[in-house]
Structure 1
Amino acid sequence: MTGRTMLGATLLLALATTPAQAQHWSRSWMAAPLVSKAPPEKRPDLANRTLRQVVRISSGGQRIRLRLSNEMSTQPLLLGAVHVAIAGENGETLPGTDHVVTFNQAQGATIPARAPLLSDPIAMAVKPLTRLSISIHLPQGAPDATVHSYSAATGWTAPGDQTTAISLSNSATLGPRVIISGVEVESRKPGTTIVTLGDSITDGVRATPDSNRRWPDLLAERLQKAGRTSIGVANAGISANRLLSEGDGYNALARFDSDVLAVPGVTHVVILEGVNDLGNAARSQQPMLPPEALIGAYRQMIARAHDRGVKVILATILPYKGAGYWSAEGDAARMAVNKWIRDNQEADAFVDLDKAIADPADPARMAKAYDVGDALHPNDEGFRAMAAAFDLKLFQ
């Protein structure tokens, strides 16, 4: 082989192994996959129906792709047509914004049991904080669909394939997220994602529906207003989730790799977990977890995150005196854990959410102005105070 031939072969090999277009993907919206807890007879019949769900992304990009999930299901899932558009009001889509979603350059797909499915890149430029409408036709239904039990947003189902319809006909409302688990954006320069790992307080239970008032939503707004436009916030909260045992969803240590470390573009994780571990011990009259047990769980996540170059921001556990599962013993453990969070040198930083919403006259209790009424969950103003407590310099 001559020198010129060898040079040509080398160039061809380099071209063959170089992507045709640089792709910098980061997650802009997320719902952690869950098993449906509704008994089979109470699940909606989705055969030959269209699902329409609205999500508000955090960061924007030149193109997007969808992540659909069959990860908690034991049967393959047949997808018919899938479309994405800019969302209008009440389930309508904005005219002229509809895009066909393909998978391996084909419309429709079958997702194997226990698997996710990424769509092909969609040539749809989106601005930060855009509301997207995702429509999925299910020809054969989804008897054990992967869901996310709390949505904080209204969804709809309608008969037949109405994925291209601006307004659905004969629709019914849908409570949980179904099948959709992520929206990712592509940018010319690498974008980054903050994952918020937590329980119902992070999931946004009791926030005003359809308002995007959960604290991760408000943190995303703060970042955008501060000019940090390439940073996305992916909400991995699960209502009733725990650090060490099964509540709703796998415990935080079990889902840390899939819900945090596998997220495209992740650079930081904010961890707000533990109150359900303490409260459940009191409610079930089990021995109270020692602070060292929760601290050990945090240390595991710190080590695993640092192995992947991900920074960890620990959030102090919120006050919950007056909640149905509060106990003095549990609160003593909470205060000990919070002291460690404030003093430790293992995490990259902490945010004092406990202090941000505590009642100054009784720090074991949430301030009344921030309490939705159950002494456990913040209201919209409480979520605003939580988002405001973050120093945005933490996300460098």
Structure 2
Amino acid sequence: MSLPVRRLALAAAAAVLATALGSTPAFPAADGPRTGAADGPRSRAADGPWTTAWTASPQRPSSSFQKNWSQEGFRDHTLRQTVRVTAPGGQLRIRLSNRYGTSSLHITAATVARPGTGPAEVSGSARPVTFHGRASASIPVGGDLAGDPVALPVDRLGEVTVTLYLRDRTGSATFHDQAYATSYLADGDHTTDTGGAAFTRTSASLYYLTDVEVRGSAGTAPPARRGTVAAFGDSITDGFGSTTDADNRWPDELAENLAATGAPRPVLNAGIGGNLLVHDTAWFGDSAWSRFERDVLDKPGVSTVVLLGGLNDIGYSEIDLPTYKPDPDVSVQELIEVERDLIRRAHRRGIEVVGGTLLPMKGAEYYNATSADKIRKLNHWIRTSGAYDAVADFNSAMADPNDPERLDPAYDSGDHKHPNDAGYAAMAREVQRTPLI
């Protein structure tokens, strides 16, 4: 079934209403003691605007393809997660989400620190995180919450460890499934435990943490030449097939390349593995069309989006999960209508959009004559329509020289669809060639 303009308009209105309802203010827990005001309101105006330095798009709890803690949630647990930021700052703040929770989420205590090895922290680097001046906070179902500013300077491409103590039962957890980074769990309260020995359980997903934002000066780090680049897409953007804890996804590689050239820009990864342009799914997140504002356009500092999507719409549909039956009833024209709408919405915010062509996937589980034809037609439109401000031709850059329908074996992670680390590095170079980067 196609997605006519009328449906887009109606759904846009619904999305605005849903966003308004889903952004219920989260108030600090009444029993949390107020702390000192060193990072309080008086310092905020002088330090300039916030820039999102790292992000992970939130998802509904699910079993998905890998073991995770999202459905069981937490009770009397300490959760420790480490992320790499792509912008420097003298202050940082974290954002937490209970968007898909089933009960109020109580954060008993939180800290940020510089990471050591594994779950360990650099001794003396931990700083408490407060919420409206209190040490603890509750986030209602559907809500999000930003911590207060913390004076912990971070460098571009530096790492931050976020530790959350969750004393009360959380219920199911809002999370990001395919993180390709290790999270650690300990029983009891270990927010001040820098050694990390108590963190005996691990997961390859992220929980509650959706953003790290920075502002102010961080030593002599060069300023960004232009605004933030947001990578928006599915598992190929999320980094499926890359090495865990190595930061080898293509947005990571792009951030490193730009920093090395002396023209750094923050780069965000707003990919979700399995994500569809058109349909919401229980396993693979809200559709790209419905999450675009929340996960990209509303992020402080974003000026360029790299959009890569549609391969999953061609390969499977919601009712086919998890069997991946090929040939879902999603037309190329429907994908084009959605991409045009995303471009229009970005342009209304003054944001440029780079269109990424779909990668070759001959040999993958849902490759056949129908899907191959759709890939060719959608890529032709991306290259020739002029709808995008620039084009990153991933298809040409990643194709096997002897068979353009197939991924170059040097770039293939083994499933004939997702790149390996070398392939993601090649994708970053292709994006970097575009005039908008």
With normalisation by structure 1, the TM-score equals 0.91
Q: Measure the CA separation in 1 of the matches of 2:395 and 2:327.
A: 25
Secondary structure of the equivalent of 2:367? coil
Q: Quick check: 66-75 or 283-292, which moved more?
A: 283-292
Of 87, 100, 110, the match for 1:72: 100
> Structure 1 residues 364 and 107, CA, compared in 2 at 3 Å: closer, same or farther?
same
Partner Cα separation in structure 1 for residue 372 and residue 391 of structure 2 = 20
Q: Name the % identity.
A: 37
Q: How far is 1:151 from its partner?
A: 1.3
Deviations 1:314-370 (A, max 9, x none): 100001010001111111111111111111222211101111111011111001111
Question: Once the two structures are superposed, what CA deviation does each residue of 1:51-105 show, in whole Å capped at 9, x if it has no partner?
Answer: 0011011111121110111111132100011001111111111112111111101
Give SS of 2:256's match: helix
User: Is residue 137 of structure 1 aligned with residue 165 of structure 2?
Assistant: yes
How far apart are the structure 1 equivalents of 2:227 and 2:193? 34
The superposition leaves residues 279-308 of structure 1 with CA deviations (integer Å, 9 ceiling, x where unpaired) of 116943555533211111110000000011
What is the distance in 2 between the residues matched to 1:32 and 1:98?
26
| Matching residue of 1:183 | 212
Largest Rg, 1 or 2: 1
Distance 1:161 1:245 in 2: 40
Structure 1 distance, partners of 2:301, 2:352, is 12
Closer, same or farther: CA 169–159 of 1 in aligned 2, 3 Å: farther
**Are residues 1:238 and 2:254 paired?**
no
Cα distance in 2 for residues equivalent to 1:45 and 1:148: 13
Range 275-284 or range 297-306, more displaced: 275-284
Contact kept? 2:70, 2:172, Cα under 8 Å: no
Q: d(CA) in 1 for partners of 2:227 and 2:327? A: 41
Residue type at the aligned position of 1:259: D
- Is 1:30 aligned to residue 63 of structure 2? no
The Cα of 1:45 is off from its aligned counterpart by: 5.4
Cα distance, 1:23 vs structure 2: 2.3
CA contact (8 A) 1:289 1:333 kept: no
Aligned to 1:273: 309
With over 3 angstroms needed to count, the CA separation of the structure-2 counterparts of 1:80 and 1:377, relative to structure 1, is same
2:13 corresponds to? none
Kindly indicate whether residue 239 of structure 2 is the aligned counterpart of residue 208 of structure 1.
no
Cross-structure match for 1:224: 259
2:230/2:302 contact within 8 Å kept: yes
- Cα distance between partner residues in 2 of 1:271 and 1:202: 9
The answer to whether the 8 Å contact 2:108/2:137 transfers is: yes
Shift of 1:394: 3.3
TM superposition shift of 1:19: 6.7
Q: CA deviation at 1:46?
A: 1.9
Q: Show the counterpart of 2:291.
A: 255
**8 A Cα contact 2:360 2:417, kept in partner:** yes
User: SS of the counterpart of 1:165?
Assistant: coil
The Cα shift of 1:175 comes to 2.8
Matches of 1:274 and 1:19, distance apart in 2: 41
Aligned to 1:3: none
User: Residue 291 of structure 1 corresponds to which residue in structure 2?
Assistant: 332
Is this contact kept in 1: 2:70–2:174, CA < 8 A?
A: no
1:392 positional shift: 5.6
Q: CA 1:169–1:379 in 2, change beyond 3 Å: closer, same or farther?
A: same
Amino acid at match of 2:275: N
Query: For residue 5 of structure 2, what is the aligned residue in structure 1?
Result: none
Which segment drifts farther, 280-289 or 382-391? 280-289
Match of 2:253, as an amino acid? L
Does structure 1 residue 192 correspond to structure 2 residue 227?
Answer: yes
1:325 to 360, 366, 371: 366
Paired letter, 2:346: A
Matching residue's letter, 1:46: F
CA RMSD in angstroms comes to: 2.3
Alpha-carbon separation, structure 2, partners of 1:30 and 1:301: 20
Q: Pick from 115, 118, 143 the counterpart of residue 87 of structure 1.
A: 115
In the alignment, what sits opposite 1:308? 349
Pair 1:21-2:49 in alignment: no
Q: Gapped runs of 5+ residues in structure 1? A: 1-15
Q: Is the 8 A contact 2:185 2:201 kept in 1?
A: yes
Residue 375 of structure 1: aligned partner: 416
* Aligned-partner Cα distance in 1 for 2:328–2:82: 43
Are residues 364 and 132 of structure 1, via their aligned partners in 2, closer, same or farther at CA, if it must alter by over 3 Å?
same
1:4-19 mapped onto 2 (5 Å cutoff):
none
The CA deviation string for residues 196-219 of structure 1, in whole angstroms up to 9 with x for no partner, is 111111111121111000111101
Q: 1:196 to 1:139 in 2, by over 3 A?
A: same
C-alpha separation in 1, matches of 2:70 and 2:279: 27
Once residues 287 and 376 of structure 1 are traced to their aligned partners in structure 2, the CA distance between those partners, rounded to angstroms, is 18
Q: Deviations over 1:218-254 (max 9, x none)?
A: 011011112233x211111001001111241011101
Q: Which amino acid aligns with 1:112?
A: P
What corresponds to 1:385 in structure 2? 426
3-state SS of paired residue (1:389): helix
Q: Which has the higher strand share?
A: 1
Determine which of 142, 148, 171 is the counterpart of 1:120: 148
Aligned to 2:377: 336
In structure 2, the gaps of 5 or more residues are 1-40, 218-222
Please say if residues 359 and 365 of structure 1, whose CA atoms lie closer than 8 Å, have aligned partners that are also in contact: yes
User: How has the CA–CA distance of structure 1 residues 37 and 65 changed in structure 2, closer, same or farther, with 3 Å as cutoff?
Assistant: same
Provide the secondary structure at the position in 2 that maps to 1:304: helix
Closer/same/farther in 2, CA of residues 26 and 336 from structure 1, 3 Å limit = same
